[in-house]
Amino acid sequence: MTGFAFLMLFFMACTSAFPKPLSRSEEEKYLRQYFDGSTEAKNILIEHNLRLVAHVSKKYISSGIDNDDLISIGTIGLIKGISSFDENRKTRLATYCAKCIENEILMYLRSLRKSANDIFLQEPISKDKDGNEITVMEMIADQGDTVSDKAETNLQTKQLYQKLDSVLTKREKLILCLRYGIGVKKELTQREISKKLGISRSYVSRIEKKAIKKLSDDFKKSKKNSRR
């Protein structure tokens, strides 16, 4: 990241004042200079589109991410947008950059959700008879078509299924089972689940995230109690 980009991120995080957007003629002038190799023109284009970052970021306030973080991430998207803008595009710079800003924020949110899922699914919750750690993912991956048989003989798998019933609501359990193929033929995407249940994909995502956290917290609590 350039020194200017870093200063822009710092600026965005520390102030609510934004430079005014450029007029169309000013934008065209600085774009021409930028395409001719002017770094200063690029910096001016970034600086005067920071308002756009704040505008797009507001759409994702409900995600629970700090607004300063959203703006910082969005600013990276803005820089990428201006860097990749093609002078032959018929689209306005602001329209193109808004999409880049949004994509950057969405990629960040997806990575957080994936991280949250991975942390839970890869968390060791028990050990086998040889002392090897067993993760939730290994239980799920191993259940195949013989869930009921394994639940009878495998204490760890049984514990997982008990927690699905005791810790989660019926909807939370259903969504996790559909998402990770627990007791069903195949895993479904969030979009497929939303269509199947008649709810929005973002709602499916929130329920999945909440369910994973509840299970993770309960497993940690059980492990802590077992050590006492």
At 184 the pLDDT is 74
Beta bridge partners of 134: 126
Measured CA distances, 160 to 14, 121, 154, 171, 182 (Å): 45, 11, 10, 17, 11
pLDDT single digits (tens) 121-141: 555 555 555 555 556 555 554
At 30 the pLDDT is 94
Confidence of residue 25 (pLDDT cuts 50, 70, 90): very high
Q: Residue 127, SS3?
A: strand
Spatial distance between the Cα atoms of 145 and 142, rounded to a whole number of angstroms: 9
> Which range is least confidently modeled, 60-64, 125-129, 177-181, 195-199?
125-129
pLDDT single digits (tens) 62-90: 777 777 788 889 999 999 999 999 888 78
User: The domain 123-227: what is its CATH number?
Assistant: 1.10.10.10
| 160 pLDDT above the threshold of 80 | no
Residue 178 and residue 185 in contact, taking contact as beta carbons nearer than 8 Å: no
The overall pTM is greater than 0.75: no
Q: Where are the domains of the chain?
A: 3-117, 123-227
Q: If you average pLDDT over residues 50-72, what whole number do you get? A: 84
User: Tokens at residue 155, please?
Assistant: 């204490």
User: The domain 3-117: what is its CATH number?
Assistant: 1.20.120.1810
> Higher model confidence: residue 67 or residue 207?
207
| 113 pLDDT above the threshold of 80 | no
